[in-house]
Chain A
Amino acid sequence: AIQMTQSPSSLSASIGDRVTITCRASQGIRNDLGWYQQRPGEAPKLLIYAASTLESGVPSRFSGSGSGTDFALTISSLQPEDFATYYCLQDNNYPLAFGQGTKLEIK
């Protein structure tokens, strides 16, 4: 099974900061990766699919990159509503697998 490793596990940042979260797959997964945001008490929300395609309605400050084994989610200028936990998910191979999550907190 493919393992997904996110880093960092947690991150403190300020409003307006640019932040990057990474996700590494244990083997190549082409661009078969999505990013999800989960705010406390809410269901997760799809942000990015196919590694770099922005989901409809998601602000353009979110972007995704990468291919193969290394991927990144970048938020260009943090807004208050962006403080949440972020997960990557690979759908290149069965079974599907999430990363362990990155909690983004206010500094």
Chain B
Amino acid sequence: EVQLVESGGGVVQPGGSLRLSCAASGFTFDDFAMHWVRQAPGKGLEWVSLISGDGSTIDYADSVRGRFTISRGYNKNSLYLQMNSLRTEDTALYYCTKAKMEYCSSTSCYAMDVWGRGTTVTVSS
């Protein structure tokens, strides 16, 4: 069974840092691009970041660019999101998602077919 399990969420003060992890299983992790998507309480979905299977393509939403860093652990089946300089507006449920198409490293192939249950990040003083 294909599965994604996020961890690492918690409560942090503004300006602080947090590292999210996503453990993947049931598929050949290195062959698929991965995303982080977030959802603030009562709000819609916001795409945050993606990384291609081979790590050659990385992109971020403008709202997190320069503060967040996405990475993946090869042979560890893990996806990460290092979040620095956190703001109150970063408070959200963070989902790890898998791209549907294999070997996707350019646009037009990033539809997300598997989602985790999410991990909650709260930025508050």
Interface size class, chain B: 20 to 34
* Interface flag for B11 (CB, 8 Å): no
Known A-B contacts A46-B100, A49-B100, A95-B59; A87 and B111 likewise in contact (beta carbons under 8 Å): no
B115 touches A43 (CB 8 A): yes
Are the C-beta atoms of B50 and A34 separated by less than 8 Å?
no
The interface centre, meaning the residue of B44, B50, B116 with most chain A CB atoms within 10 A of its CB, is B44
B48-84 residues at the A interface, CB under 8 angstroms: 50, 59-62
A44/B115 in contact, CB under 8 A: yes
Interface residues of B in 83-125 (CB under 8 A from A): 95, 100, 107-113, 115-118
> Would you call A34 and B111 a contact (CB within 8 A)?
yes
Complex-state Cα separation, A93 to B112, whole angstroms: 15
- Interface-facing stretch out of A16-24, A65-73, A74-82, A97-105: A97-105
* Shortest CB distance B15–A (Å): 24
**Given A46-B100, A50-B111, A91-B107, CB of A38 within 8 Å of CB of B50:** no
Residues in B neighbouring A36, C-beta threshold 8 A:
45, 112
Instruction: Specify which of A55, A85, A94, A100 is in contact with B107 (CB 8 Å cutoff).
Output: A94
The 8 A CB mask of A7-43 against B (1 = contact, 0 = none) is 0000000000000000000000010101010100001
In the bound assembly, the distance between CA atoms of A32 and B111 in angstroms comes to 9
For A49, the chain B residues whose CB sits under 8 A away are 100, 111, 113
Q: Which residues of B contact A (CB under 8 A)?
A: 35, 37, 44-47, 50, 59-62, 95, 100, 107-113, 115-118
